[in-house]
Structure 1
């Protein structure tokens, strides 16, 4: 294969459903497959025969346009003409083309066997294992590769690339909710063709046995916080201690435990602190030791855990914790459940009674910060940031809330932060704007390295505000595997790849020692 798979042609027999009424639609696995190939970094097209109705040809052309694919007419009697047309259109050098076709296209398969393409055959439903190939496992027949489900194709392509390009490639199996995957993939972060540092990304799917998929990958990357069903806390425990994942995530966790040599970004136990706002606050307490050589200091906000807003000594506890109105109140559960982002800004101590924020909660110091928030992203040993508009200072919030009698300001932090105006601007690396001229980038970078070691996470983010007057840099939130979408792709994506590669190499070195 030389340079690996450099073009993929998917036959209409694989993606078109058999509708008796003549309507055109996609097969069950086609949407999954096309979405994975769309951002694979490998040219992809859809082929169809001359006998296909105009309605279905039009449908395929629409699908090709939707997924940014090409369309080719493929006549079984003149396969060579189409293969030459495809080769000229894609101009791939040093690689091989792949054709995916259903096994009910007998004539087409016979003619394809005479060309130098790699042929992957999707077996018809109900055919069984007459060829000695068990369901869900790729096999060979007459020099062709067999699959039973379209969900198998990305891993098949990955394995072909690894075989062609050598063992230096590292396969990264990833699993996350579709919307998050799309955010990463459309930026080119999940290519099926190797990156410049030798990574191949392949989606893991619950539609196939996870144990067999994990045997084919070198690294597992997940966004487990998207797969949380519930988080429980025993009355005797200060921290959250029981996380219930979806059935698929539980299966992944079990398979990972059975394959201890697999490199995971990151182990599930490592992300637990970012699920618990109280634990994170306590970790942030140790940051102040980093501020000895700086005019300002970096720290977490003052905080207090509350189990009951009606407790009689709450006012005294708030004073002892250096918490004065206004304060921001957040659920202790930081993510993964429906109400994790239901928060409130409280302006009067009496208004804690009956407050509509899930318990247990963390009351946190509200820091005046000129409506400017610095979002930091840590990708391995690289640190980036972006600047966002944020909530206004306390005096402005008070004025905004006087109309409703200074009642607590309730909001969902993912949807509607209380801001003066909606705007956003960003900076990367060492850029400077009017809003970040007081940012001590060296101090925050030092804190990022410290948190990376404390949390033992590969990719995470945190939010910093600069307190007016004191200049304190206050970390108000920490999160796992953020999208870092505000950092330009040409900067962020290579750093993302390098962070994964370093994690894999580091694990291998440690395993050999």
Structure 2
């Protein structure tokens, strides 16, 4: 889909901070902290862009700007009020076949004369003004109707989206706002999943900024994609009753939820209350019980692991309760809270019943069947109607673990950071014991994935499957919302991601 913006020029006046020049120190970082975010967004959105600066810029800042240009593979252009036409011609030639207009993002301190000389060209000026400049009305632009004033650099993505939508008013473009923790957002941006310019399927992606009024942003978008679990402050889980009422979100997420409630027709991917089951490992285990009956002609089946909820590790009848839940040692012990809080991934593998006493895993907890699976786990990603998977190394079989557990003491670990693993030699021994007739059955798991999609009503989610030694049972050991699916090649995953969002809309 053609982008009506031929290129964006970011001027030094908005990229660099106004620190005193120090010609003797080339290590000074003059870059505005938020400007780097904008640069990366434009770069990974594949929007053509360049940098500009006036002739009066100091040598050290020119050098710094050129370094930025090298990082992002973009050119620097020099302007002045007496050579505006030459500047326009040089930029047009640099970006080749010009079919749209140029956006020049500058400080409103820029020379008035230069702005006015651009008024008859295919240029739109976006002017960043400070509080001081607003109080004095900035520069006079009464003769130039194509000027847009912004107060913060954070407004630029929204401004670009609005410009594109206005220019393509007869094309059905949908704008998707998104919010998630910076590291996750950065992963998606680098893969080209969140372009500011329209995709072939007619989607644009806008990062929500909590530095700006949320109502203004929400009015300009058609849907919200979120990772609400990144915004959880605390969860109380003494039971699963009234679970929703005991989740406390960050103040900004609470503000966002209130803002979306004011727009009943607003599309949320996915509704906040749909996420609650995956916060609760007990609820997920109960949902997986519904897989009873999923079998192949070879009598392989897919199921959840056997499990038991405990409120205390000191329960007098714990051993009897474990046996009644069809559990045998070792067990893997997980907090009932599945995500969103600091210790949700603090787990243990326990080999002896006596070692439950004083176990350092948050309560309430889920005791889960430890499935021998030859150190091999299948990570499945459901993206709309598409199902992908990747094969990863995992924990070894129980007998192998027990050989390397000193005195069969519990193995404590954080599943986000590291798993209990053994050397490659021991892992190969696990692989040799694997029954070749018990390979992963893709059709069986795909059927289960489609069933889960209907039950959970998620647009994008993931789950982990292990194939049990001996029985060939396919056991789903984890379910998560909006995974990164980074193991799937970008040229396959990203179009499927966009299609899933468009279908949801």
Normalised by the size of structure 1, how large is the TM-score?
0.90
Identify if the C-alpha distance between structure 1 residues 140 and 328 changes in structure 2 by more than 3 Å, giving closer, same or farther. farther
Q: Which of 310, 317, 330 does residue 313 from structure 1 map onto?
A: 317
Q: Does 1:210 align with 2:211?
A: no
> Would you say 1:11 and 2:4 are equivalent positions?
no
Separation in 2 of the partners of 1:241 and 1:261? 24
Q: Are 2:150 and 1:144 aligned? A: no
Distance 2:143 2:16 in 1: 24
- State whether structure 2 residue 338 is matched by structure 1 residue 334: yes
Contact 1:228 1:245 in 2 (8 A): yes
SS in 2 for 1:344: strand
Going from structure 1 to structure 2, the CA distance change for 1:257 and 1:361 (only over 3 Å counts) comes to same
Report the 3-state secondary structure (helix = DSSP H, G, I; strand = E; otherwise coil) of the residue aligned with 2:293: helix
Paired residue for 1:273? 277
Matched, 1:441 2:442: yes
Partners of 1:370 and 1:254 in 2: how far apart? 48
Q: Residue 330 of structure 2 contacts residue 351 of structure 2 at CA under 8 Å; is this kept in 1?
A: yes
Q: CA deviation at 1:35?
A: 3.2
Counterparts of 1:293-442 in structure 2, within 5 Å, are 295-401=299-405, 404-421=406-423, 438-442=439-443
Q: Which residue of 2 aligns with 1:125?
A: 131
CA pair 241-285 structure 1, distance change in 2 beyond 3 A: farther
* Secondary structure of 1:291 counterpart: coil
Stretches of structure 1 lacking an aligned partner (at least 5 in a row): 133-138, 424-433, 505-513
Contact residue 7 and residue 92 of structure 1 kept, 8 A:
no
Of the three residues 95, 106, 109, the one matched with 1:104 is 109
Give the whole-Å Cα distance in 2 for the aligned partners of 1:468 and 1:168.
52
d(CA) in 2 for partners of 1:375, 1:283: 19
Is 1:168–2:169 an aligned residue pair? no
Q: Distance in 1 between matches of 2:10 and 2:438?
A: 53
SS at match of 1:128: helix
Change beyond 3 A, Cα 1:70–1:242 = farther
Task: Give 2:257's match in structure 1, choosing from 240, 245, 253.
Answer: 253
Quick check: 2:3–2:197 contact (8 Å CA) kept in 1? Answer: no
Deviation of residue 128 (structure 1)?
A: 3.3
> What's 1:486 paired with?
487
Residue 51 of structure 1 pairs with residue 56 of structure 2: yes
Aligned partner of 1:37 in structure 2 is 42
* Alignment of 1:469 onto 2:470: yes
**How many angstroms apart in 2 are the aligned matches of 1:342 and 1:240?**
23
Is the 2:21–2:58 contact (alpha carbons within 8 Å) kept by the matching residues of 1? no
Q: Does residue 198 of structure 1 match 2:205?
A: no
In structure 2, the residue matched to 1:20 is 20
Number of matched residues? Answer: 485
Tell me the residue number matched to 2:162: 159
Whether the 8 Å CA contact 2:237–2:337 is kept in 1: the answer is no
- Out of 64, 70, 78, the residue aligned to residue 73 of structure 1 is 78
Post-superposition Cα deviations, 1:255-296, rounded to whole Å, max 9, x if no partner, equal 111111111111111111111111000000001232275521
| Structure 1 CA distance for aligned equivalents of residues 344 and 204 of structure 2 | 34
Alpha-carbon distance in structure 2 between the residues aligned to 1:497 and 1:435: 37
The reply to whether residue 64 of structure 1 matches residue 66 of structure 2 is no
- Contact between 2:350 and 2:356, CA under 8 Å: does it hold in 1? yes
SS in structure 2 of the partner of residue 338 of structure 1: coil
What SS does the aligned partner of 2:283 have?
helix
TM-score by length of 2: 0.91
- Which residue is 1:230 aligned to? 234
**Paired position in structure 1 for 2:432:** none
What do residues 426-482 of structure 1 show as CA deviations (whole Å, max 9, x unaligned)? xxxxxxxx9998111111111111111111100000000000111100000000000
CA RMSD of aligned residues (A): 2.3
Alpha carbons of structure 1 residues 292 and 239: separation in structure 2 relative to 1, 3 Å: farther
Query: What secondary structure, in the 3-state scheme, does the structure 1 residue paired with 2:126 have?
Result: strand
* Deviation per residue, 1:194-249 (Å, 9 max, x gap): 11100011111100011110010001001111111111135583957511111111
List gaps (5 residues or longer) in structure 2.
23-27, 426-434
Contact 2:383 2:459 survives alignment (8 Å): yes
Show CA shifts across 1:476-508 (max 9, x none): 00000000000000000000000000000xxxx
Conserved? CA contact 1:46–1:69, under 8 Å = yes
